[in-house]
Copies of this chain bind each other. A is one copy, B any other.
Amino acid sequence: MTEGPTPDWRDALPWPGEDAHKHARGRLGVVAGKASQTGAARLAARAGLRIGAGVVRILCPPDATAIIASAIEAVMLTPFGSAEALAEAVEGMDAVVIGPAAGVTDATLTHVRALAGTGAALVVDADGLTVFEGWPTDLFDVLDRDDVLTPHEGEFKRLFPGLLDLGREAAARAAAKRAGAVVVLKGPATIIAAPDGRLAVNDNGVRWLATAGTGDVLAGMIGGLMAQRMDSYDAARAAVWMHAEAARGFGPGLIAEDLPDRLPQVLAALYSQDR
């Protein structure tokens, strides 16, 4: 299915009710990597907050605390020193993003596993995927059906070697089944596939998104919608579409930092169509 002009996920967008409060609107966690690489987590967190998660918290290694703390205001911060502490810190969270600049390290592997044991829905991106190269079933075994993987083609090949030979759509569909989770295969025409066989091809992709950090923003957007309890497959479709729409409105010269602050405009257009 190619998204038409009024994709059905619009009806599923989680607009806050008149009596909304921040916790009811959803709690999102974003796991940061090492101290020199925290921008990715900050981009994801800001995107998650902009798209409507009521509370967004970055979870960081202790030595990254001061660096992140001076760069955030509405986003919150909790340092953690171990996988157990991480799992504890996400208690009560609705969704967690892990992967952006996480590092391809044993720690990242341990963190993904620890998060899978919590009640939070996961968005696993970037290094959080690459770290399972060679033993992807270790990842698939701990995923739930409402978790989301967001590989670009390179990362996809590491987790699903050979599968792309089927063509992108079939590959994404097979991957979602194999992983038992939603798979977002990023590219010029991003494919979103659910483990129950649902599949969508996003058709509003724009070339300006080919710049560092846009994947972090997308992961945060998906997580932000999931934190608001939108169905993961719908959340992924909606986020992919809005992400591209935000970029299209900007045009050449776009950098990832522009995207979160373009979301209000994209959301406003969708909101007014809904009324």
**A interface residues, Cβ below 8 angstroms from B:** 15-22, 24-25, 35-40, 42-43, 46, 49-52, 54-56, 65-79, 101, 152-153, 187-188, 205, 207-208, 210-214, 250-257, 263-268, 270-271
Contacts and interface: CB of A to CB of B under 8 A. Distances in A.
B74 A39 contact: yes
A210 B39 CA distance: 26
A210 B65 contact: no
A47 to B, nearest CB: 11
A141 to B, nearest CB: 30
Contacts of A36: 65, 69, 77-79
A251 B266 CA distance: 11
A19 B186 CA distance: 11
13 contacts: A25-B210, A25-B211, A35-B69, A36-B69, A38-B70, A39-B73, A39-B74, A49-B211, A50-B255, A70-B70, A74-B256, A253-B264, A253-B265
Nearest to A13: B252
A246 to B, nearest CB: 10
A91 to B, nearest CB: 16
A105 B21 CA distance: 24
Given A16-B208, A36-B69, A253-B264, 6 more contacts: A20-B188, A42-B73, A252-B268, A252-B271, A253-B266, A253-B267
Contacts of A76: 37, 39, 101, 212
A35 B79 CA distance: 11
